[in-house]
Amino acid sequence: MTSRFLGEHSGPWLSGSDRSSAVLVQPIGAFEHHGPHLPLQTDAIVVDELARALVESCSALELMVLPTLSYGLSSEHVWAPGTVSLGPTTLIAVLDDLASSAARAGIRRLVLLNGHGGNTHLLRVACREIRVRHGLLTFLLHPALPPDNGGEVGDPRERGFGIHGGLAETSVMLHLRPDLVDMGKAEASVPDWLDGFEHVGFGRAAEFGWSSQDLCASGVVGDPTCASADLGREHVAHALTSLGSALAEIAVFDFPGRKALDGGVAEQAASSSGAAGWRTS
């Protein structure tokens, strides 16, 4: 099979044929504190492994996968040594440059495959800005949306607070990279005190800004103590199924009647950057 990893091809391979029906996937992780039991690069490792698995499970789709972006917006963990965070304007600028390059290559569909909850709100903004500035069809995909970003509450043992280094994430790492997990250092760290509020909290009327240190001193928010590789395998299988179904729709999705506008935006973008070769249909 022709490689789905764009970096393994030559430039002429890309420009030599029409790629307007391709789905370009940019996996995005983070480099941040995950407590004493998980590595700093957890989010990047997980999203990179999922992207590779999707290439196998979605072989009928014309996916093109970019190298995983191993840094993200991790300001909620910068208090902890080891965290490396891009600023929000930096990350937006990186994604804008990436989208500009993709548009010049004739790509129309860009998927941001996000492995870090702290990136989510910014990536929603990036999808809209790239859509408007470069005319690309943009999509934001998550293997699993955490409760603080509108996802399901998850395991009742974590009472809706399993958002960072907890049961699900630790289990997935035990499945994918058990050599990097130290379960002897895993400790439950669930902010029960938030239960005392009716309106303020994750998924409630009044959201709040937070640093992980505000929620739990260890920086872990959840309960990893019952994590297992079997549970991680289930999570990965579920994620691959839902991501694959979403990608199949993304491959054919379009806004009816909007192609002419896309072409105008794209031509402006190409001429202002001095680029050539943009295709819109």
Question: Which CB sits closer to Zn ion, 43 or 158?
Answer: 43
The DSSP 8-state label assigned to residue 222 in this structure reads: B
Question: Which CB sits closer to Zn ion, 26 or 170?
Answer: 170
Residue 240 CB, nearest approach to Zn ion (Å) = 18
Residue 99 CB, nearest approach to Zn ion (Å) = 25
Distance CA 22, CA 149 (A): 29
Residue 135 CB, nearest approach to Zn ion (Å) = 32
Beta bridge partners of 72: 85
Calculate the alpha carbon distances from 55 to 6, 24, 233 in Å.
Answer: 12, 12, 18
Calculate the alpha carbon distances from 221 to 76, 144, 165 in Å.
Answer: 12, 16, 6
Q: Which residue is nearest to Zn ion (CB)?
A: 43
Question: Which CB sits closer to Zn ion, 43 or 223?
Answer: 43
Residue 91 CB, nearest approach to Zn ion (Å) = 16
Question: Which CB sits closer to Zn ion, 42 or 100?
Answer: 42
Number of Cβ within 10 Å of residue 22's Cβ equals: 23
Residue 42 CB, nearest approach to Zn ion (Å) = 5
The DSSP 8-state label assigned to residue 199 in this structure reads: S
**Binding region for Zn ion (CB under 5 A):** 42-43
Question: Which CB sits closer to Zn ion, 4 or 34?
Answer: 34
Number of Cβ within 10 Å of residue 1's Cβ equals: 6
